[in-house]
Amino acid sequence: MSRLVPRQSEAAEAVADVGGQPTLSVRNLSKAFGSTQALWPLDLDIRQGEIHALLGENGSGKSTFIKSLSGYHVADTGSVEVCGESLTLGSVKSAHDLGCRFVHQDLGLIRTETVLDNLCAGGSYRTVFGTISGRANRQAAMADLARAGVDIDPKRRLETLSPAEQTAVAVARALRSDDGAEPKLLVLDEPTARLPQKEVAQLLDIVRAVARAGVAVIYVSHRVDEVLEVADTATVLRDGHKVATRDVKELDRRSLVDLLVGDALDDVDISSHNAPTVDAPVLLAVDSLSSAELDRVSFEVKRGEVVGIAGITGSGRESILATVFGELPRVTGSVRVGGSEIKAERPDLSIKDGVAYVPPDRKIRGSIADSSARENLMLVDLTKHWKFPKISRRGEHAEVMRWFERFSVRPGDDADRTLSAFSGGNQQKILFGKWMRTEPRVLLLDEPTQGVDIAAKAELHKQILAAATDGGACAVISSSDTEELISVCHRILVMRHGRIVGTLRGKDKTVVNLSHTAFGTAGEARK
Ligand SMILES: Nc1ncnc2c1ncn2[C@@H]1O[C@H](COP(=O)(O)OP(=O)(O)OP(=O)(O)O)[C@@H](O)[C@H]1O
């Protein structure tokens, strides 16, 4: 059994600076891409053992900053010191040698391998007299894992671990010091973006453990509440400028959101939107749908309704919408939209019947990264601008600009740049626009706001609600973000072991109820 090391006192208090020198000292660091100044000259100091949150709206420059630290980008100006030693800008090796470590959202682990093999990836096994020693490696692995605050058997296969534990393995691997380069700084890029709510607390414990071990942590996140809970300090970027660096003790949710958006934020609250009337027609009817991961799932969604799907990883939540859409194979069951049958494995026909599906892994399935934002937006339906014998570029451009404005895509004036040159959150907005322009009757949204900043998230939520309540459509949202489901959905279907085990609506839609139902600890589930 794995166990997470109990939470201790605040990290920053536990570790004193060595000789008063910051672990990370950044001066005047800047980076432009063509005419886009992604990062204006930036100064930043981070102490040993400090958890420093980095926040900012989509396209504010967070990734550019981190990639300039890691050596992936060559910064245009500035200098970086790690514990007083100069980093060679643009050199991945220099960043590593000085102790900078990076854990990205996709973790870069092999699910079918053991924890030990993942930790030793790249061949860094311990040897005794030239022979790989199982015992020495296991002991070293346990020590590495303890550094990330977990006690996991290194012989376990990675896929048997919870998502938070898998993140701990990625952190432990990043913090290995086999080659003699002691880790000093750990950069975590949105580590909780894909975690179910219940595991967020575990992940935050891992971050605290790392800081207690004396490593400075840069914690990139869009989640304000998490930042307030775990970070000692927060830096907010906006349009490539540093807006502020604050002691988190001086901040509350309101003041941090104000720093982020520079304006009052109008959060979405489902209670201000009418639920569909009892006699509203059923738009989506799923009947006894089974697949490799689903077990006789049935539900209906009425016109005007927004329904959420919750559940832990492996519950069926991740595959249900792709199966309904016809992208994943079905074993039995039927899906009907407004009376017509949606065939299995024929997403092309689903689209014709008015179904839109926004997949979670937009980089793989949702978009063509090398095509322009305009081409991606127009992809699903080019007929609107077809004027024999060619496409009207002017009409197309005008429509693209309208979508850019509606979703505040940044930069907002260049739809011809490739999609991959937009920040992650802006790519998601473009992808969302692509489907919204087909005016779907049924919107299937898988993790629709992952990586999207707080203001854009509120805007996307408004658009989803408007599409359902005013536009005569309905929406189903599958999300690991419990608060998103609670604030946007009229009712939430909770999945476990491939089945719907409970439905939460009204006052029952709480984080606690949701977790209990998802984990099967709520007694007899509500139906
Ligand atoms: N390789 C690139 N080529 C051109 N422009 C880029 C490139 N990478 C980033 N940009 C631009 O630099 C700006 C900052 O982007 P960056 O990815 O740093 O934002 P971010 O804060 O990480 O956003 P997100 O939260 O959406 O990931 C954006 O305007 C983006 O379009």
pLDDT in tens, 309-358: 998 777 899 899 999 999 899 999 999 998 889 888 888 888 889 999 98
Q: Which residue, 115, 185, 163, is CA-closest to 143?
A: 115
Give the residue, by CA position, lying nearest to ligand 1 atom 17.
423
CATH for the stretch 266-354+440-527:
3.40.50.300
In the chain, what percentage of residues exceed pLDDT 70? 84
The model's confidence at residue 414, banded by pLDDT at 50, 70 and 90, is: confident
Written out in words, the top-level CATH class of the domain with range 1-99+184-197+218-262 is alpha beta
In the chain, what percentage of residues exceed pLDDT 90? 39
User: Can you give the pLDDT at residue 263?
Assistant: 60
> Which tops the pLDDT comparison, 282 or 348?
282
User: Can you give the pLDDT at residue 51?
Assistant: 97
Say yes or no to pLDDT of 16 above 60.
no
- Indicate the range of 49-63, 141-155, 207-221 predicted with least confidence: 141-155
- Indicate the range of 19-33, 88-102, 122-136, 464-478 predicted with least confidence: 122-136
Q: Which residue has the tokens 């958890």?
A: 51
Say yes or no to pLDDT of 245 above 90.
yes
Mean predicted lDDT score pLDDT of the chain: 84
Nearest atom of ligand 1 to the alpha carbon of 417: 4
User: Can you give the pLDDT at residue 270?
Assistant: 56
The model's confidence at residue 228, banded by pLDDT at 50, 70 and 90, is: very high
Give the residue, by CA position, lying nearest to ligand 1 atom 1.
421
425 Cβ below 6 A of ligand 1: yes
Q: Please report, for residues 152, 320, 341, 478, 479, the alpha-carbon distance to residue 359 in angstroms, rounded to integers and kept in the order given.
A: 32, 11, 21, 10, 11
What is the Å distance from ligand 1's center to 60 Cα?
7
User: Can you give the pLDDT at residue 188?
Assistant: 93
Say yes or no to pLDDT of 427 above 90.
no
Q: In this structure, are residues 56 and 82 in contact, taking their beta carbons and an 8 Å threshold?
A: no
60 Cβ below 6 A of ligand 1: yes
Terminal Cα-to-Cα distance of the chain (whole angstroms): 32
Cβ-proximal residues to 129 (8 Å cutoff; 6+ apart), any chain: none
CA distance 392 to 519: 53
**Bridge partners for 309 per DSSP:** 478, 493
| Sequence ranges of the domains in the chain | 1-99+184-197+218-262, 111-182, 266-354+440-527, 367-439
Give the residue, by CA position, lying nearest to ligand 1 atom 27.
424
For 86-135, what is each residue's pLDDT tens digit? 999 999 999 999 999 999 877 888 888 899 888 887 556 565 555 555 67
What is the Å distance from ligand 1's center to 21 Cα?
31
Nearest atom of ligand 1 to the alpha carbon of 56: 21
User: Can you give the pLDDT at residue 81?
Assistant: 97
Best residue for ligand 1 mutational test, from 241, 417, 423, 430 (most atoms within 8 Å of Cβ): 423
The model's confidence at residue 11, banded by pLDDT at 50, 70 and 90, is: very low
User: Can you give the pLDDT at residue 93?
Assistant: 94
The model's confidence at residue 3, banded by pLDDT at 50, 70 and 90, is: very low
411 sits in which H/E element: none
User: Can you give the pLDDT at residue 361?
Assistant: 67
Phi, psi dihedrals of residue 195, rounded to the nearest 5°: -95, 140
CA distance 57 to 452: 8
Give the residue, by CA position, lying nearest to ligand 1 atom 25.
58
Domains 1-99+184-197+218-262 and 266-354+440-527 share a fold: yes
User: Can you give the pLDDT at residue 65?
Assistant: 96
Give the pair of three-digit tokens for residue 501. 């085990």
Q: In this structure, are residues 182 and 99 in contact, taking their beta carbons and an 8 Å threshold?
A: yes
Nearest atom of ligand 1 to the alpha carbon of 428: 26
Q: Which residue, 522, 426, 494, is CA-closest to 62?
A: 426
What is the Å distance from ligand 1's center to 66 Cα?
11
Best residue for ligand 1 mutational test, from 33, 190, 460 (most atoms within 8 Å of Cβ): 33
The stretch 58-69 carries a mean pLDDT of 92
Cβ-proximal residues to 42 (8 Å cutoff; 6+ apart), any chain: 26, 28, 29, 30, 65, 78, 242
Say yes or no to pLDDT of 164 above 90.
no
Give the residue, by CA position, lying nearest to ligand 1 atom 12.
38
